[in-house]
Chains A and B, each alone.
Chain A
């Protein structure tokens, strides 16, 4: 139904299969249109960064991917997000819960539940009704290892998660998102509440994670996007201005808006 009208898609010389594809996506909050005809193809097992000045709609776009907007009234989508070229996850016939079981999310501020370290990670499995202890143990350990947290917490699994440091809490939230083996993990400015050391730690972690999972990250830090993303999209006033390989976008931005943003005169 939707033809890929956007040139951005054609320009993307992807050697990677497409994990998720956004097609002519509009998003409305009440009467006001927040996203305007977004077209974007997210390559499999790569890090794709969404950047742009605050209010440009990058977080709104991110939250479309796991239908977070369905939690609040007066939100409306138009368009499609195709997962694996097959399922339109914005389709009203698909329950948002199904989507969230396959697409994980890590939030701006670490938001561990008031439970033990172990229970925080096991939450996603418990929610799915899995109770077999050995199964849980194994998956929790694997997730904590993927999140590079296992060695720090393996003796404190029963402790409340609030006892961990901020950076550890955020890695715990990453482990929580990884435990169900999601196809795609959404990161909403995951390091904005952290100190530089923890930030470096988490960036390193994401670089390792892309071997096993596709990552879509919102960041307001240009340097961060330049440091570790493979692809980068620049958004402005609800529109996707430019989408490129990160190296290319930073080296030779095509759009004048992108140029001025990168040079610091916009945003």
Chain B
């Protein structure tokens, strides 16, 4: 074959040509793979918005946003999102009450105080903490933490938001601490030395110089932690209860948005009914909440990366 090639000066031209096409084809394939992430997002939007649009043709947006009763499965259905929202917000709040102080303290300790060897051990341990499946955390909340709390508070119902939220907080600690620690590690050492040179202690340096310098990264850790808590499903489904209740009292039971979706999915609702569509409207609400938080968190992270 090569004999017929009329350009003796460049006997490899043909294979070069073929190579060029292969290169192009490969790049195209890789691009398609990268575009799959866009397809996923579009798919999510298509499904959520599509089904929600049908939902809102029968239920007014106003009722959905302002209504205080959520009883889609009853004979007299009501579609106010607030009972689900209150459960979601309350469990999230309890979780943050645990995750933020612990996560921050751990991050400061491990970034500013711990010797390198301790940090090397600590990081993987926290990663293991993050790797525990949420259904296992749910088991802990329902069957360990709640009975323990009931010994102190005998009136506490078996399903309650306080133990679900607390265990969720435990689950989120690694997320908060690792992002906060990364932010503090990104603070240049010259700032620390400037502070030590003035006779500051480690604590003073950590709190007065490092922490304020890393504040946007730390805020983004809190925000991403919040968004994780909002979307957490199994812990609240198992331990916080399944009854939509408009309450912000963490010692009561209440369903979250995610718990409601799971509850409905476990039944066998026919495709295309209004009840079926409720889970997509609820899901859309959740996505909007977390998406806004994620974008803010992403922007903050970017800002602290640019600063130094």
**A binding-site residues for B, Cβ under 8 Å:** 66, 68, 71, 73, 97-98, 100-101, 104-105, 107, 109, 111-115, 123-124, 126-128, 173, 176-177, 180
Within the complex, the shortest CB–CB distance from B65 to chain A, in Å, comes to: 40
Q: Is B32 an interface residue (CB 8 A)?
A: no
B190→A180 contact, CB < 8 A:
no
A97→B190 contact, CB < 8 A:
no
Chain A proximity mask over B117-132: 1 for CB below 8 Å, otherwise 0: 0000000000000000
B192, B197, B209: which contacts A100 (Cβ < 8 A)?
Answer: B197
Residues of B within 8 A of A101 (CB): 199
A113, A173, A176: which contacts B213 (Cβ < 8 A)?
Answer: A113
B204→A127 contact, CB < 8 A:
yes
Determine chain B's interface SS by DSSP, over half rule: helix
B201→A97 contact, CB < 8 A:
yes
B199→A127 contact, CB < 8 A:
yes
Chain A proximity mask over B178-210: 1 for CB below 8 Å, otherwise 0: 000000000010111111111111001000110
Complex interface residues of chain B between 192 and 247 (CB less than 8 A to chain A): 192-201, 204, 208-209, 212-213
Residues of B within 8 A of A113 (CB): 191, 194-195, 208-209, 212-213
A177→B213 contact, CB < 8 A:
no
Please, how many angstroms separate the alpha-carbon atoms of A73 and B118 in the complex?
A: 13
Please, how many angstroms separate the alpha-carbon atoms of A113 and B188 in the complex?
A: 11
Residues of B within 8 A of A68 (CB): 193, 196-197
CB closest residue in chain A, given B213: A114
B198→A100 contact, CB < 8 A:
yes
A105→B213 contact, CB < 8 A:
no
Contact status of A111 and B194, CB under 8 A, knowing A97-B201, A101-B199: yes
Residues of B within 8 A of A114 (CB): 191, 209, 212-213
**B binding-site residues for A, Cβ under 8 Å:** 115-116, 188, 190-201, 204, 208-209, 212-213
Please, how many angstroms separate the alpha-carbon atoms of A109 and B204 in the complex?
A: 22
Residues of A within 8 A of B199 (CB): 97-98, 100-101, 124, 127-128, 180
B188, B191, B198, B209: which contacts A180 (Cβ < 8 A)?
Answer: B198
Please, how many angstroms separate the alpha-carbon atoms of A229 and B192 in the complex?
A: 29
Within the complex, the shortest CB–CB distance from A134 to chain B, in Å, comes to: 21
Within the complex, the shortest CB–CB distance from A115 to chain B, in Å, comes to: 7
Residues of B within 8 A of A123 (CB): 195, 198, 200, 208
Residues of B within 8 A of A126 (CB): 208
Within the complex, the shortest CB–CB distance from A107 to chain B, in Å, comes to: 6
B116→A73 contact, CB < 8 A:
yes
Please, how many angstroms separate the alpha-carbon atoms of A97 and B200 in the complex?
A: 7
Residues of B within 8 A of A104 (CB): 197-198
Please, how many angstroms separate the alpha-carbon atoms of A114 and B186 in the complex?
A: 14
Residues of A within 8 A of B201 (CB): 97, 127
B212→A105 contact, CB < 8 A:
no
CB closest residue in chain B, given A108: B190
A-B pairs with beta carbons under 8 Å apart, 9 shown: A66-B197, A68-B196, A73-B115, A97-B200, A100-B197, A104-B197, A107-B190, A127-B200, A127-B201
Please, how many angstroms separate the alpha-carbon atoms of A98 and B208 in the complex?
A: 19
Contact status of A100 and B196, CB under 8 A, knowing A73-B115, A113-B191, A114-B213: yes
Residues of A within 8 A of B204 (CB): 127
Please, how many angstroms separate the alpha-carbon atoms of A112 and B194 in the complex?
A: 8
Contact status of A173 and B198, CB under 8 A, knowing A113-B209, A115-B212, A123-B208: no
CB closest residue in chain A, given B117: A73
B192, B194, B208: which contacts A173 (Cβ < 8 A)?
Answer: B194
Please, how many angstroms separate the alpha-carbon atoms of A73 and B194 in the complex?
A: 18
Within the complex, the shortest CB–CB distance from B171 to chain A, in Å, comes to: 32
CB closest residue in chain A, given B205: A127
CB closest residue in chain B, given A115: B212
Within the complex, the shortest CB–CB distance from A75 to chain B, in Å, comes to: 14
Most buried by B among A127, A176, A177, A180: A127
Residues of A within 8 A of B212 (CB): 113-115
Within the complex, the shortest CB–CB distance from A43 to chain B, in Å, comes to: 23
Please, how many angstroms separate the alpha-carbon atoms of A104 and B115 in the complex?
A: 26
CB closest residue in chain B, given A119: B208
Given contacts A68-B196, A113-B208, 8 further A-B contacts (CB under 8 A): A66-B197, A68-B193, A98-B199, A112-B194, A113-B191, A123-B200, A127-B201, A180-B198
Within the complex, the shortest CB–CB distance from B301 to chain A, in Å, comes to: 17
CB closest residue in chain A, given B204: A127
Within the complex, the shortest CB–CB distance from A243 to chain B, in Å, comes to: 25
CB closest residue in chain B, given A104: B197
Residues of B within 8 A of A71 (CB): 192-193, 196
Within the complex, the shortest CB–CB distance from A178 to chain B, in Å, comes to: 11
B188, B196, B197, B200: which contacts A177 (Cβ < 8 A)?
Answer: B197
Residues of B within 8 A of A177 (CB): 197-198
Please, how many angstroms separate the alpha-carbon atoms of A107 and B189 in the complex?
A: 12
